[in-house]
Amino acid sequence: MTQEIRENLKYTPEHEWIRQDGPLAVIGISFHAQDTLGDIVFVELPKVGSVLVAGKPFGIVESTKAVNELFAPLSGKVLRVNEALASNPQLVNTEPYEQGWMLEIEMSQPDELKALMDAKAYQNFLQQQ
C-alpha cells in the first residue's frame, strides 16, 4: 500500500484527517499515522454527546508498538462514534479513510477548519518529518 493522502480531506500535524459535510465533520487518523503505529489492537473513543475542544485529547489508539492519544482537530459535539472499531480496531489499518473512521461531530466553530492542512500542505509536512 502506498502513502495515501486524499484530496478531499483536511489534516492536522497529529495526523488526524477531517472530512467536512456541511456543519458536520467525520474524523479519523491518516494512512501515515496508522502505518507508523503498526497493527492497531484497541481504540478508545468518547461517548456520543461528549463535547470536543480543538487541540485537546479525545481518545486513544493502541497498537502493538505504542499507545497514542488522539487530539480533536475541531471543537464540537460528538454525534456518532464508529462502533465497529470496538470489535475490529484493525479497520483503522486496512481502511483508514473509509470503514476506519472514528467519529462524527457537529462543529461548534467551523472557522477552525481554516487552520487545518489541505492534502498538498500535509504532503509537504510529511516530507519534512
**CATH code for position 57:** 2.40.50.100
Cα dihedral across residues 49, 50, 53, 57: positive or negative: negative
Residue type, 20: Q
* 97: nearest Cα among 25, 27, 42, 14: 27
% the chain with pLDDT above 90 = 96
pLDDT digits (tens, 9 = 90+) for 26-75: 999 999 999 999 999 999 999 999 999 999 999 999 999 999 999 999 99
Position 41 in a domain: yes
Cα 121 from Cα 32, distance rounded (Å): 14
34 lies in a domain?
yes
Question: Which domain does 32 fall in, by range?
Answer: 10-115
CB 35 within 8 A of CB 97: no
Is 68 within 8 Å of 60 (Cβ atoms)?
A: yes
pTM of the model: 0.95
> Structurally, how many domains does the chain consist of?
1
Examine residue 123 and state whether it is found in any structural domain, yes or no.
no
Q: Is position 22 within any domain?
A: yes
Has residue 108 been placed in a domain?
Answer: yes
**1 — pLDDT class (breaks 50, 70, 90):** very low
